[in-house]
Amino acid sequence: MVGTLLVVNAILSYGQVHRAAGVVKALRRRLQVSARVLRASTWQLVPARDLVPGDIVRLRAGDIIPADVKLLVGTLSIDQSALTGESKDADKAPGEVLSSGSVVRRGEGNGVVMLTGARTLFGRTTQLVQAARPKLHIEAVVAKLVRWLFVIVGVLLVGVVVLSLIRGVPLIDMAPLMLVLLMSAVPVALPVMFTVSMAVGAKELARRGVLVTRLSAAEDAATMDVLCVDKTGTITMNQLAITGVIALGQATETEVLAAGALASQEANQDPIDLAFLAEAKTRHVFDGLPRTVPISFAPFDAKSRRTEAVFEQDGQRLRVMKGAVRTLAEACALEPAAIAALEARVSDAAAKGYRTLAVARGPETGARTLIGLVTLFDPPRPDAKALIASLRGLGISVKMLTGDALAVARDIAQGVGLPNIGRVADLKAAGDQRGKNATDPLGGVDGFAEVYPQEKYVVVQRLQAAGHVTGMTGDGVNDAPALRQAEVGIAVSSATDVAKGAASVVLTEPGLTNIVTLVEQGRTIYQRILTWIINKVSRTILKAAFVAIAFVVTGKFVVSAFSMLLLVFMTDFAKIALATDHVQPSSQPETWNIGGFITVSVVLGIAMVAEALFALWFGWVRLGLATDNTALYTFSFLTLLYFAAFSIVSARERRWFWTKMLSKTLMVALAADALTGTALTFAGLPDLKPLPVSQMLGILIFAMLSCLVVNDALKVALIRWRVPHAAITKADKD
């Protein structure tokens, strides 16, 4: 049985390693593209992996940029969203560097290859994903727990062996029972119970739109105390929206929006065109206007920096344009002073994170008139502010990390309740002065602006070095290393395949509301595992100390090796049902510094030893157990069995045992365990003699009163003394 469990765990571990390798493979596949290269005075199509620095490459609309390239000739508009997560395209002029992995949306030009493969920004991201490894906190806890259990059992067994040698008991007679007691210290069922708990939680999360790709992430979510969130697509909508319309001259806002919408085309799916069309529809700008018939449409071009449309209205052909402010101002023949005034407005809007476009109209062949300015913005998600407040209510500190300029980041962050945003350069300077592990890198701030991709990874590492269990959200390739390094890496619904592959949690629905569900479910799983630990420690003390002390006092082993082995497996595997138990999540992040709970477990174990020994004394004196070894073995077996069942009922709740009802699965498992153990005493098994029903009922009632009255009161008092915060659940706080 133990060997089977080890094999299952080995298979699961191999699966996790294989999945991690798949992340890197996905990144490498993204690098396998072709490029048009000028070699030997001719243009050739070669695989991107064959490029070398110095090659001249041709880039056109639709191409994936095959390396880090410096643009020599031409102007391009490129989509960097897979790298940066930003929704809007970036315009590139000669002399600027184009990052590998970006997609050319408009324009064409020539460039020289600067860096290739692993030396590019994209390639360095691959290497970071390979190096990223979150710390598995539960492994350290289990290892420490097992060591202490062996110490407790070992000390008791050493005492028993020494006393046995003094009394002349042969070692060969003691060996089977000693081996069984040692095995009782091994958490045989913990791997299965842990896996089942994770699987049950993952199933519930999947039903609510949260996919857990690494089972331990749900448990890590319970202890997470810092969540780093990407701005674009996470806090914001990742889509442009019109936030302001400034009419110029005699024009009205409705006319400005109507002209801008006419200079847009839905089929192109351009974010700016869609923003104009959506705003025009919302404001009903075409209601009551004469019918328009489209004649022609010219999409945005990097050279013209505008879109144009010609339409017919009331028998007259008109031309409308929208685009860069300076471009349209010059096309409308404005004076330099007027252009300078317009650009000042653009600069003011840019400081707040707004993008400004101009709108013009006029006859098809005559002079155009600039009729207005329109500001666009990637707005915060409607649920972002409430979500951040909810997470703070759960004791989680939310930090925003974004590549935006400081002014833009502050404007967004203040709207969602994160007022204190700094520059990442300040973080690096502070880290250089004080050392990586000296202080909390995000203490006193709500996030950082001007963060490059590799710096998100460094921020996560420094938070972990400062003792935080860290979560990270993201959507782009640039976020993959940080998602992989964080204990809880969360890929949003719009994330790239690489980001989803690196993350341990994937949201299948827009927004971040389900992160609250993830945290609450994680804390529920934590409570179930903690119950198992409390019960394991107390019952290990009960079994080992009961046998050892009884031997010292009576000179007999009061339970046989066979019945003890049967008891270990029956009770340990019944506790797997704890994975389905009803528990209430706590209001604050959990911690695996559970010294207070271990103290409670030890005291409860000692109390059960005293109670079980009292029951044994009564049976020894009043029931004739001193002269009937098989009856003695059965009596001790049933005592330990019933104490095991009722101690679980008490240990599963941090308050009084009746506060929350047991799950049906756990109730059935415990009842079946007790009934099966009782029935086995009538089956003629070795060293198990049937006892009178009155004695069985007496043991049952005594164990129930001891665990659910005396020990439960002791448990509540100890928790209030040693771990007072544990008695406060989210429901209590609400």
Q: Is the dihedral of CA 577, 582, 588, 594 positive or negative?
A: negative
DSSP for 434-469 reads: H-TTTS-TTTT-SEEES--HHHHHHHHHHHHHTT--
Measure the CA–CA gap between 520 and 79, rounded to whole angstroms: 37
Cα angle 493, 497, 500; round to 5: 60
8 Å CB contact between 28 and 126: yes
**Encoding tokens for residue 300?**
């945005």
Picking from 272, 302, 307, the residue whose alpha carbon sits closest to that of residue 377 is 272
Measure the CA–CA gap between 627 and 534, rounded to whole angstroms: 36
Identity of the residue numbered 216: S
Residue 161 CB: number of other CB atoms within 10 A?
16
8 Å CB contact between 646 and 703: yes
According to DSSP, residue 586 is labeled B
Query: What are the angstrom distances between the C-alpha of 482 and each of 7, 18, 464?
Result: 31, 19, 12
Cα angle 161, 164, 167; round to 5: 155
Angle between helices 121-131 and 2-31 (to 10 degrees): 170
Identify the bridge partners of residue 438 per DSSP, sorted by sequence position: none
Q: What are phi and psi of 296, to 5 degrees?
A: -155, 160
Picking from 79, 74, 32, the residue whose alpha carbon sits closest to that of residue 51 is 32
Q: Is the dihedral of CA 397, 398, 402, 404 positive or negative?
A: negative
Beta strands in 40-144 (DSSP E): 42-47, 56-59, 68-79, 90-92, 97-98, 103-115
Angle between helices 561-574 and 664-680 (to 10 degrees): 170
Catalytic residues: 230
Residue 731: Cβ-neighbour burial (10 angstroms; 0-12, 13-18, 19+): exposed
